[in-house]
Amino acid sequence: MPVSQMISAMSSSLNDSLPPAIFLMGPTASGKTDLAVALRNHLPVELISVDSSQVYRGMDIGSAKPTRELLEQVPHRLINIRDPSEAYSAADFAQDARKEMEDITRQGGIPLLVGGTMLYFKALLDGLADNPPSDLKIRKKIEADAREKGWPYLHAQLAEIDPESAGALHPNHSQRIQRALEVFQITGKPLSLIKRNQQEKGSLIESILNDYKLVQIALMPLDRLYLNQCTERRFKLMLDADFESEVQVLYERGDLHPDLSSLRAVGYKQMWRYLSGDIGYDEVYRLGIIATRQLVKRQLTWLKKWPHLHQIHINYADEKKVFSEKALADCLKILKDSCVYRNVLQQYCR
């Protein structure tokens, strides 16, 4: 069942005993972390990071990871939980996030999931097929083939064994091509067939909508041009903070390569190319800005189509203090006015 229908079906029958949870989304550099931290002064929220780069240790500057000082004051779960050599998928996140949410709820807190990796949010909302776990040996062989022959070649291979999955993918959509080939090599069955069988049997990882009263909030910029300027400043500050040295440490390890999901992240991909001698340093900035703008565009496209989303429109013309106070006030109003929370938040608000 689509997420929109599921929410509608549940809205009239939600049990008041279901615990609350909050999604706080938004494009890169929109102020999500500051707002999440500010909410802790009003609600007993515990933060869960929803960021595909911040899960990796040693990738701090380029992922805009909260500072060590902030993490000591305000812990963020699902940060620094993987080595960059390890794969981490939306399914991995969904399983890890559910465990963290359950732990926070048991302790009497409210899970606040904050970040900009929309696919991770969607995995929690829609639920996931119970597919086989990754096989590192098979995955490394696929990655080696991709380095030698390119992802379009592997896409053509996928089209022969699973035309349905291949037809839904761009020839350079490396992660999904890799996963479809991996599943086929592990199980001997096309991923599309496995999904159909699981849908018929109902053997899916359940959506969190079955277990939580959820409010979804997004920071949405009114001025796209100013947001682009913010992301440019942030990328420049990242370079000024010696981002090159951070990536140099990863580069010199010897066991990492640019086809890893960790190193396909914006900024890391461009700096890796520089360290490999493929591009000049000026190109790191130019290509990094282009990639960041493309990321923001994708994030906004996701959010504009996101059902049952409360939007907080942010005006960058305001002073930072005014901007922060308005965003916090709007967010608290959404939470307190929400029909899902009307009976729940009374016991939490302070």
pLDDT in tens, the chain (350 residues): 444 444 334 343 334 578 999 999 999 989 999 999 999 999 999 999 999 999 999 999 999 999 999 999 999 999 999 999 998 988 889 989 999 999 999 999 999 999 999 999 999 998 776 667 778 889 889 989 999 999 999 999 999 999 999 998 888 888 889 989 999 999 898 988 887 776 665 445 678 988 899 999 999 988 888 888 888 999 999 999 999 999 999 999 999 999 899 999 999 999 999 999 999 999 999 999 999 999 999 999 999 999 989 999 987 666 566 668 899 999 999 998 885 455 555 555 54
Q: Are the C-beta atoms of 151 and 177 separated by less than 8 Å? A: yes
* Cα end-to-end span (Å), the chain: 37
Same-domain status, 196 and 249:
no
Q: Are the C-beta atoms of 26 and 219 separated by less than 8 Å? A: yes
Structural domain that includes position 162: 136-205
Same-domain status, 241 and 283:
yes
Q: How many CB atoms lie within 10 A of CB 264?
A: 15
User: Which of 205, 238, 260 represents a domain boundary (last residue)?
Assistant: 205
* Rounded Cα gap, residues 226 and 343, in angstroms: 39
Same-domain status, 165 and 230:
no
Same-domain status, 162 and 200:
yes
Task: Compute the radius of gyration of the chain from its Cα atoms.
Answer: 21
* Rounded Cα gap, residues 325 and 81, in angstroms: 32
Same-domain status, 74 and 152:
no
Q: Are the C-beta atoms of 46 and 75 separated by less than 8 Å? A: yes
Same-domain status, 118 and 222:
yes
* Rounded Cα gap, residues 331 and 210, in angstroms: 24
* Rounded Cα gap, residues 321 and 233, in angstroms: 19
Q: Are the C-beta atoms of 186 and 132 separated by less than 8 Å? A: yes
Q: What is the tally of structural domains in the chain?
A: 2
Q: Are the C-beta atoms of 117 and 52 separated by less than 8 Å? A: yes
User: Which of 159, 183, 205 represents a domain boundary (last residue)?
Assistant: 205
Q: How many CB atoms lie within 10 A of CB 213?
A: 23
DSSP label at residue 264: G
User: Which of 205, 227, 260 represents a domain boundary (last residue)?
Assistant: 205
Same-domain status, 158 and 237:
no
Same-domain status, 188 and 315:
no
CATH number of the domain encompassing residue 103:
3.40.50.300
Same-domain status, 303 and 264:
yes
Q: How crowded is the C-beta side of 189, counted as CA atoms within 13 Å?
A: 11
Neighbour-count burial for 121-159, b at 16+ CB within 10 Å, e otherwise: bbbbbbbbbebeebeeebbeebbebbeeeebeebbebbe
**φ, ψ of residue 22 in degrees (nearest 5):** -130, 135
Neighbour-count burial for 316-343, b at 16+ CB within 10 Å, e otherwise: beeeeeebbeebbebbbebbeebebbee
Q: Which pLDDT belongs to residue 226?
A: 82
